[in-house]
């Protein structure tokens, strides 16, 4: 059971870094730091969008419109942090995992 919880924890940690990379990439793209016409940059942006958008879209529907500020990645990171903490402090001890 420890292996399963540990694998879930690693997957959530990896997804956290993907969300951060997506947010940073969106800032770089918005301020024209990266060349949007570059094929490699476009592939990275498309990958980050496809991986993070399914999780961010429901949060964006709930949050109020703040103009150009998107708080959905922060909310999603807080949810992931809650899940990871809950998993190790409540679920693991209940299952007898050390």
Residues 3-17: tens digit of each pLDDT: 999 999 999 999 999
Distance of alpha carbon 34 from alpha carbon 79, whole angstroms: 30
pLDDT higher than 80, residue 98: no
CA distances from 61 to 6, 22, 72 (A): 31, 19, 9
Q: Where are the alpha helices (DSSP H) in 1-98?
A: 2-30, 39-62, 72-86, 92-95
DSSP code, position 36: T
Mean pLDDT, rounded, for 68-82: 95
Residues 15-25: tens digit of each pLDDT: 999 999 999 99
Q: What's residue 59's pLDDT?
A: 96
Mean pLDDT, rounded, for 52-75: 93
Mean pLDDT of the chain: 94
């Amino acid at each position: 059971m420890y292996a399963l919880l540990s694998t879930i924890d690693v997957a959530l940690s990896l997804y956290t870094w993907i969300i951060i990379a997506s947010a940073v990439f969106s800032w770089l793209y918005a301020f024209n730091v990266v060349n949007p016409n570059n094929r490699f940059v476009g592939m990275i942006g498309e990958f980050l969008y496809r991986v993070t958008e399914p999780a961010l879209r429901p949060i964006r529907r709930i949050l109020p419109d703040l103009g150009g500020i998107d708080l959905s990645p922060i909310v999603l990171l807080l949810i992931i942090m809650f899940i990871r903490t809950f998993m190790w402090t409540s679920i693991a001890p209940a299952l007898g995992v050390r």
